[in-house]
């Protein structure tokens, strides 16, 4: 039995993924899936090669 309590249904649902292992945000380029959309978005940069964060002091981008 999990002792966690939440004020709204969305937070409860996301927490329940800890117990179910559900990862509803699937990559369209590979078999990986994630618990939140932000992590998926960050992961997809691996496939696109996009590097949206450029260093202000050197030519590197991340």
Q: Domains plus CATH for the chain?
A: 23-62 (3.30.160.60)
pTM summary value: 0.67
pLDDT of residue 50: 87
State mean pLDDT over 33-37.
95
Check whether 49 has a pLDDT greater than 90. Answer: no
Give the list of residues 6+ apart from residue 17 with CB closer than 8 angstroms, or none: 23, 24, 35
The sign one gets for the Cα dihedral 41, 29, 27, 30 is negative
């Amino acid at each position: 039995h999990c002792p966690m309590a939440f004020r709204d249904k969305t937070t409860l649902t996301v927490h329940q993924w800890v117990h179910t292992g559900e990862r509803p945000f699937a990559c369209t380029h590979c078999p990986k899936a994630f618990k939140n959309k932000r992590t998926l978005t960050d992961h997809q940069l691996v496939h696109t090669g996009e590097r949206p964060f450029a260093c202000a002091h050197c030519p590197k981008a991340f």
